[in-house]
């Protein structure tokens, strides 16, 4: 019934769409809240753009193996090849041009799920994997592509699924704030790159062989210690490994030599 009861610091209702102004609407016995009108309606179904299935994406990637001073790109040096190539996991797996519809078919087998992905959006992962044996030549260092879906499926999670974001345009007319709020649904692509390359090195091979020989020598020493001092029948092993020599035997051998 008065402004003191409508403090700005009071708690907000769980379904509020604005902020308290600290004023009281005495005629309605309500505290005033300022917000945008009309309130967003999540029940409005967006209409998918079916032509988006035919969109093509060219993905450029560059990678450098600094240890070997080798730089590679997924764009092959064949201009005629790129004029007609389109990625296929079997027939054309090195082409970096992807059709959106083909990506959806790869990451999702269910027709209804693919339709939901077009309607509500989705998050797709494109992984570029470089596994190169440089002894075969730099031309043989080519990427491999793999794909996956990162967002929750509609049949598994019906509360938070798909991908969307909001953006707004603001302006003032006669000291009154206006805006147009747009909620966009779409496919978000996250690209990850992994690289691993190797080349034969004689120095590394020599060091590894030396390390193995040292480890084998250490293994013999450890086995002797265990057999002599930690085995219950260590005295038998000691008798075979060592020969006892007394002073009389040494004197006799010395006399015989003289």
Are residues 245 and 164 located together in one domain of the fold? no
pLDDT band at 243 (very low <50, low <70, confident <90, very high): low
pLDDT band at 242 (very low <50, low <70, confident <90, very high): low
Q: How many domains does the chain have?
A: 3
pLDDT band at 145 (very low <50, low <70, confident <90, very high): very high
184-187-192 Cα angle (round to 5): 135
Handedness of CA 36, 41, 44, 45 (dihedral sign): positive
In a domain, 207, yes or no: no
* Residue of 107 and 84 predicted with greater confidence: 107
Are 166 and 125 in contact by the 8 Å Cβ rule? The answer is no
In a domain, 127, yes or no: yes
Are residues 176 and 57 located together in one domain of the fold? yes
What's the pLDDT score for residue 245?
Answer: 64
What's the pLDDT score for residue 160?
Answer: 73
* Residue of 41 and 70 predicted with greater confidence: 70
* Residue of 153 and 56 predicted with greater confidence: 56
Are residues 185 and 233 located together in one domain of the fold? no
pLDDT band at 250 (very low <50, low <70, confident <90, very high): low
Is a pLDDT exceeding 50 seen at residue 90? yes
Q: Residue 212 corresponds to which tokens in the numbers above?
A: 């193995």
In a domain, 206, yes or no: no
Is a pLDDT exceeding 80 seen at residue 99? yes
Q: Which of 57-71, 72-86, 160-174 is predicted with the least confidence, judged by mean pLDDT?
A: 72-86
Give the integer Cα–Cα distance in Å for 4 and 31.
10
Are residues 144 and 194 located together in one domain of the fold? yes
Are residues 90 and 170 located together in one domain of the fold? yes
What's the pLDDT score for residue 31?
Answer: 84
In a domain, 39, yes or no: no
What's the pLDDT score for residue 258?
Answer: 47
Is a pLDDT exceeding 90 seen at residue 155? no
Give every CB contact of residue 72 below 8 A, 6+ residues apart in sequence.
Answer: 62, 63, 64, 65, 130, 132, 138, 141, 143
Give the integer Cα–Cα distance in Å for 18 and 6.
14
Structural domain for 17, as ranges? 3-34
Using DSSP's 3-state secondary structure scheme, residue 105 falls into helix
Are residues 138 and 20 located together in one domain of the fold? no
The reported pTM is: 0.71
Q: Reading across the β-sheet that carries 187-198, which strands appear in turn?
A: 143-149, 122-133, 187-198
In a domain, 132, yes or no: yes
Average pLDDT, the chain: 84
Give the integer Cα–Cα distance in Å for 87 and 143.
13
Last residue of a domain, one of 148, 169, 198: 198
In a domain, 160, yes or no: yes
In a domain, 97, yes or no: yes
Is a pLDDT exceeding 60 seen at residue 82? yes
Closest CA to 10 of 26, 27, 23, 1: 23
Is a pLDDT exceeding 60 seen at residue 228? yes
């Amino acid at each position: 019934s008065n402004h003191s009861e409508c403090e700005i610091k009071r708690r907000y209702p769980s379904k509020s769409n604005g902020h308290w102004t600290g004023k009281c609407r005495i005629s309605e016995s309500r505290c005033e809240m300022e917000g945008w009108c009309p309130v967003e309606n999540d029940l409005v179904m967006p209409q998918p753009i079916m032509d988006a299935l035919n969109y093509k994406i060219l993905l450029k990637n560059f990678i450098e193996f600094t240890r070997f001073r080798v730089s590679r790109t997924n764009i092959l040096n064949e201009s005629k090849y790129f004029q007609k190539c389109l990625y296929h996991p079997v027939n054309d797996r090195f082409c970096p041009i992807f059709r959106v519809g083909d990506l959806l078919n790869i990451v999702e087998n269910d027709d209804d799920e693919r339709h939901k992905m077009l309607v509500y959006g989705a998050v797709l992962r494109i992984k570029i994997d470089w596994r190169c044996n440089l002894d075969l030549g730099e031309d043989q260092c080519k990427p491999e592509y793999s794909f996956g879906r990162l967002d929750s499926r509609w049949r598994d999670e019906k509360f938070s699924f798909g991908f969307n974001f909001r953006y707004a345009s603001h302006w003032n007319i006669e000291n009154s704030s206006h805006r147009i709020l747009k909620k966009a649904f779409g496919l978000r692509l996250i690209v990850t790159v992994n690289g691993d390359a190797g080349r034969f090195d004689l120095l590394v091979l020599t060091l590894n062989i030396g390390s193995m020989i040292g480890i084998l020598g250490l293994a013999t020493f450890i086995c002797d210690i265990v057999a002599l001092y930690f085995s219950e029948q260590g005295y038998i092993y000691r008798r075979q490994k060592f020969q006892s020599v007394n002073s009389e035997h040494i004197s006799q051998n010395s006399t015989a030599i003289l």
